[in-house]
């Protein structure tokens, strides 16, 4: 199997056509796409390797270090994804440059580690399963928006030893390359023998690691350093959050509809009418849709746009209740609603779910006011 490294997962169409021709010659026209955003050509005869290398080099696709620390995974991010907050590719490109200037001394030691960068919490680059992961976000400083990264550390995809990374701290995106260097220095200083990076990080623990990152959380004023207010790869642009933008992410294949409380109110009205006419099952379903339509409004403001009512209630719990923005009494609301609407419909149950829908509507309006005033 021959791995062809595709820098940050992007390949131009003319190179892709040439690569298709190469696969005809060397791997029977078969090519696989990997989760590291590279290509793999299977079943290449060993004696064909020099000729294959030369063919790849001729089309500028013979980059070394596929699937190693240097080979960073990044999602489309804010460049082309409508949900993206920061430019994952911009940061990945910056780190790729640093690999030969600033991070080169660590390349051998860190060879098997992975950096993965997602432009938002949806984690399409799987940053939660990376040794060092970044998740795009934003911070407000003096009324200006600063691109930021939530830093994750210690995650791996290692079969039975697969681990989720620990979320640590939000730092301005400008400091993300310094964070990578800091982790590598820590690893160099603290590792005992052949100890794996993840185990060292686990041993040091989240409180210590958060302390180590503290120096990178400072955001200078715009006058002191305007670069903190720009994203990597977008140095000439003002950073701002965008909504309602179409993009290449799978989410864009469904119609974009901005959720409003009016939608929720229509469902509530219908649920009341159906209850009045004794159609308890239909009333319960309308109430469920009212819950989801209400919760969708503040979620959308946080750039979370779930596809189904079930996902919306799950995200409501995850992104609003668990973060403390919604009342803790809603902690198990997704499972509670799912459970209730599958029960035998009765008047009492329909009234109960309607009351829940009405309360979630008020709660979502309260959260929305807080979010828009923040």
* Contacting residues toward ligand SF4, per CB under 6 A: 75-77, 81, 83-84, 118-120, 122-124, 249
Nearer to ligand SF4, 25 or 242 (CB): 242
Nearer of residues 305 and 363 to ligand SF4, judged by Cβ? 305
E-assigned strand segments in the chain: 2-4, 32-33, 39-41, 73-74, 115-118, 132-141, 144-153, 166-172
Cα gap 319→316, rounded to integer Å: 6
| Shortest Cβ 33–ligand SF4 spacing (Å) | 16
Which residue lies nearer to ligand SF4 by CB, 242 or 355? Answer: 242
Q: Is 120 exposed, middle or buried (0-12, 13-18, 19+ CB in 10 A)?
A: buried
Q: Which is nearer to ligand SF4, 195 or 248 (CB)?
A: 248
Q: Which residue has the tokens 């995974």?
A: 73
Give me the least distance between CB of 147 and ligand SF4, in Å please: 13
Shortest distance, position 35 Cβ to ligand SF4, whole Å = 14
Specify the residue, 86 or 294, whose C-beta has the smaller distance to ligand SF4. Answer: 86
Number of C-beta neighbours around residue 127 at 10 A: 30
Question: Would you say 132 or 349 has its CB closer to ligand SF4?
Answer: 132
At its nearest, how many Å lie between ligand SF4 and the CB of residue 120? 3
| Closest distance of CB 82 from ligand SF4, Å | 7
Q: How far is the CB of 146 from ligand SF4 (least distance, A)?
A: 18
Q: Give the pairing of strands 73-74 and 32-33.
A: unpaired
d(CA 71, CA 32): 17
CB of 280 to ligand SF4, least distance (A): 38
Cβ atoms 78, 242 nearer than 8 A: yes
Task: Note the Cα 373 to chain centre separation in Å.
Answer: 25
User: Angle of helix 280-301 relative to helix 347-373, nearest 10 degrees?
Assistant: 10
Closest to ligand SF4 by CB, 76 or 345: 76
Output the DSSP codes for 212-266: HHGGG-----TTT-GGGGS-TT-TTS------S---SSGGGGSPP----HHHHHH
Burial group, residue 124, by CB count within 10 angstroms (0-12, 13-18, 19+): buried
41 phi and psi angles, rounded to 5 deg: -100, 115
Which CB, 27 or 135, lies closer to ligand SF4? 135
Cβ distance 134 to 149 under 8 Å? yes
* Min CB(304)–ligand SF4 separation in Å: 10
């Amino acid at each position: 199997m021959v791995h062809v490294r595709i820098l940050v997962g992007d390949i131009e169409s003319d190179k892709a056509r040439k690569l298709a021709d190469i696969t005809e010659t060397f791997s029977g026209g078969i090519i696989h796409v990997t989760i590291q955003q590279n290509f793999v050509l299977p079943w290449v005869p060993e004696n064909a390797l020099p000729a294959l290398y030369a063919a790849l080099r001729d089309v500028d696709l013979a980059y070394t270090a596929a699937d190693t620390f240097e080979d960073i995974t990044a999602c489309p991010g804010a460049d082309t994804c409508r949900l993206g907050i920061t430019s994952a590719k911009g940061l990945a490109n910056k780190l790729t440059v640093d690999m030969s200037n600033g991070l080169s001394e660590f390349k051998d030691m860190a060879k098997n580690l992975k950096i993965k960068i997602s432009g938002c919490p949806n984690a399409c680059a799987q940053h939660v399963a990376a040794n060092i992961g970044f998740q795009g976000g934003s911070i407000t400083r003096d009324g200006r928006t600063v691109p930021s990264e939530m830093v994750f550390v210690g995650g791996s995809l290692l079969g039975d030893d697969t681990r989720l990374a620990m979320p640590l701290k939000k730092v301005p995106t400008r400091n993300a390359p310094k964070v990578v260097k800091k982790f590598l220095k820590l690893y160099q200083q603290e590792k005992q023998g052949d100890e794996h990076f993840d185990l060292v990080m686990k041993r040091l623990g989240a409180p210590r690691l958060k302390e180590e990152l503290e120096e990178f959380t400072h955001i200078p004023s715009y006058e002191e350093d305007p670069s903190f207010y720009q994203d990597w790869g977008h140095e000439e642009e003002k950073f701002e959050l965008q909504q309602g933008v179409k993009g290449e992410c799978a989410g864009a294949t469904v119609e974009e509809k901005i959720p409003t409380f009016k939608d929720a109110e229509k469902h509530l009205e219908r649920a009341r009418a159906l209850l009045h006419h004794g159609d308890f099952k239909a009333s319960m379903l309308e109430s469920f849709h009212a819950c989801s339509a209400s919760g969708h409004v503040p979620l959308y403001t946080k750039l979370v746009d779930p596809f189904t009512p079930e996902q919306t209630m799950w995200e409501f719990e995850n992104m609003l209740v668990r973060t403390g923005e919604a009342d803790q009494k809603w902690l198990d609301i997704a499972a509670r609603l799912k459970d209730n609407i599958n029960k035998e419909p009765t008047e009492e149950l329909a009234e109960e779910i309607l009351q829940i829908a009405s309360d979630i509507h008020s709660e979502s309006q309260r959260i929305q006011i807080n979010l828009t005033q923040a």
